[in-house]
Amino acid sequence: MQNRRNLLVVFITLLVIFELVAYVVTTPRPSAQFFQLYALGTNHLATDYFPNSDPNIRLGEVVPWFIGVANQMGNVQLAVIRVKLGNQTISPPNQSEAVPSPAPTITEFERFIQNNETWEIPFIWQISNATTINGSTEIVELRIGNQTFQENGLLAQNGYNYRFIIELWTWNEDSASLQFGWLSGTEHRVAWLQIWFNATSPT
Amino acid sequence: MSLIPSPRLMSFLAFLGIVFLFLAHPLGVSSQIGDELQSRFNGVIIEVHRAESAGATGSEINDLAGQLNKALELNEALNQLTGPNDGQKRQALLSQLNDRLSSLQSTAVEVDSTASRRESFNRILGYTSGAIAALLGTVAYALGTVLRRRYRIKRMFQMRVIPK
């Protein structure tokens, strides 16, 4: 009788241990959900963003960057990279309230990225047309990759302090639309970058 | 007779104006198509996420993501056709996109059900293996106990009594 009771205790103990192991093995562990957004310079490094490390960009001067997004959300995500052109006075995105920058969108790139996947695009740009009137420079035309984009109304004093604002937008299933940043649980997070340059030699 | 039109005539003219504006502005139609596509895209994305949560393999997800990106390219091409003579091309692309989304949706549903079944099987297999391992462990324990007991008895009979 004592023997049987011992065996039952052993069996139940082993059952609990092995079933716990089976549970741990078959249940996916929750992990932190996030995106990474980055911009790299010519040599795929976080330096050398401008030719000869000179942020004063001349007309027609080609500036090659790489913009990338890494998906760590645990599933396939639609990522949209919005590239905006701003000057010194335009507001950047509001991180705490997840509000995008009001700067005009020049272009955007979109792709579905798998979990743990990094999507990188070459972002090769140049100022193809700009004007200067009374000390105010205006970038009129930008060339990004093979496409040309017209711009107007964005002035900078002597061409100083222009910036590219790069925002990450994702798909929100609940609203069936794009949202700035992403939802991690109930928290709204955003990722954006800005790189300053001067258009000081437009002619 | 007054030259100022009556309020009834004015409201009729305003109504005509609004009707004319609506008719002259065909953008509403394209935005409806956009909304419909958007909701279809959303449905497909939800289904893909479901398949992923159900435990779809990397290659299955890779295939679905590839198809999603092709649908995205078609949508982009569709958005670039804004000219007045692009109607036919637009229609053709739209039908291609619809076909792709339908096929994507059905593939995602299929992957979801396959993955669910596979995952359930794996879970049952895991828990059954746990129970079998516990049973085998208990048998080994019982066998060990019996062997130990026999060994003790054997040793007891082999003992010599040495007088002091």
Q: What token pair was written down for B123? A: 């879970």
Are A138 and A187 part of one and the same domain? yes
- Give the one of B39, B68, B134 whose C-beta lies nearest to A15's C-beta: B134
**Residues B90-101: tens digit of each pLDDT:** 889 989 999 999
Is the pLDDT reported for residue B13 higher than 70? Answer: no
The CA distance from B138 to the nearest CA of chain A, in Å, is: 5
**How many domains, chain A?**
2
Contact across the interface for A19 and B130, Cβ inside 8 Å: yes
Residues A42 and A76 in one domain: yes
Give how far A176 is from chain B: nearest CA, Å. 6
Q: If DSSP states are collapsed to H, E and C, what string results for A72-90? A: ECCCCEEEEEEEEEECCCC
Give me chain B's average pLDDT, please.
82
Q: Which two structure tokens, joined as six digits, stand for A121?
A: 């695009």
Residue A139 has phi, psi (to 5 degrees) of -80, 120
Q: What is the CA radius of gyration of chain A?
A: 25
Residue of A6, A22, A112 lying closest to B130 (CB–CB): A22
Is there a single domain that holds both residue A52 and residue A10?
A: no
Q: What is the pLDDT of residue B34?
A: 64
A81 Cβ under 8 Å from any chain B Cβ: no
Q: Is residue B14 part of a domain?
A: no
Q: Are A191 and A94 in contact (CB under 8 A)?
A: no
Query: What's the longest Cα–Cα distance across chain A?
Result: 104
pLDDT: which is higher, A58 or B30: A58
Residue B45 lies in a domain: yes
A84 and A177 belong to one structural domain = yes
HEC letters along chain B: CCCCCCHHHHHHHHHHHHHHHHHHCCHHHHHHHHHHHHHHHHHHHHHHHHHHHCCCCHHHHHHHHHHHHHHHHHHHHHHHCCCCCCHHHHHHHHHHHHHHHHHHHHHHHHHHHHHHHHHHHHHHHHHHHHHHHHHHHHHHHHHHHHHHHHHHHHHHHHCCCCCC
Same domain for A77 and A166, yes or no, is: yes
Residue A92 backbone phi and psi in degrees, to 5 = -80, 175
Can you give the CATH number for the domain in which A101 is found?
2.60.40.10
Reported residue count of chain A is: 203
Which of the four pLDDT bands, split at 50, 70 and 90, describes residue B153?
A: confident
Cα–Cα distance for residue pair A200/B74, rounded to 1 Å: 40
- A7/A46 same-domain check: no
Provide the whole-model pTM.
0.79
pLDDT tens profile A31-50: 889 999 999 999 899 999 99
Q: Do B42 and A114 touch (CB under 8 A)?
A: no
Shared domain for A48 and A125, answered yes or no, is yes
Residue A139 sits in the same domain as residue A89:
yes
Q: Are residues A26 and A55 in the same domain?
A: no
Beta strand A177-180 with A162-172: parallel, antiparallel or unpaired?
antiparallel
Residues of B with Cβ-Cβ distance to A171 under 8 angstroms: 42, 45
Higher pLDDT, A29 or B146: B146
Which among B63, B57, B52 has a CA at the least distance from the CA of A173? B52
| Chain centre distance of CA A184 | 16
Q: Which pLDDT value is given to residue B37? A: 80
Per the structure block, which two tokens stand in for A57? 């960009």
Specify the pLDDT at position B85. Answer: 84
A8 to A3, A20, A71: CA distances (angstroms): 9, 18, 49
On whether the CB atoms of residues A202 and A59 are closer than 8 A, the answer is yes
Residue-wise burial string across A103-125, b where 16 or more C-beta atoms lie within 10 A, e elsewhere: beebbebbbbbbbebebeeebeb
Within 8 A by CB and 6+ apart from A161, the residues are A87, A88, A196, A198
Q: Is the same domain home to A128 and A150?
A: yes
pLDDT band at B36, cuts 50/70/90? confident
Does B2 score more than 60 pLDDT? no
- Considering the domain boundaries, does residue B135 fall inside one? no
Residues ≥6 apart with Cβ < 8 Å to A106:
A83, A84, A85, A142, A144, A149, A151
Residue A72 and residue A1 in one domain: no
In this structure, is residue B95 part of a structural domain?
yes
Cα–Cα nearest to A14, from A25, A24, A6: A6
* pLDDT of amino acid B32: 45
Better pLDDT: A26 or B59 = B59
Q: Grade residue B24 by pLDDT with cuts at 50, 70 and 90.
A: very low
Among A113, A114, A176, beta carbon nearest to B42:
A176
Please provide the average confidence, as pLDDT, over all residues in chain A. 92
Mean pLDDT of A7-25: 94
ipTM: 0.85
A18 in contact with B, Cβ within 8 Å: yes
Q: Do A22 and A58 share a structural domain?
A: no
pLDDT digits (tens, 9 = 90+) for A92-151: 999 999 999 999 999 999 999 999 999 999 999 999 999 988 888 999 999 999 999 998
User: Whole domain around residue B61: which residue ranges?
Assistant: 28-128
What is the domain extent for residue A12? 1-30
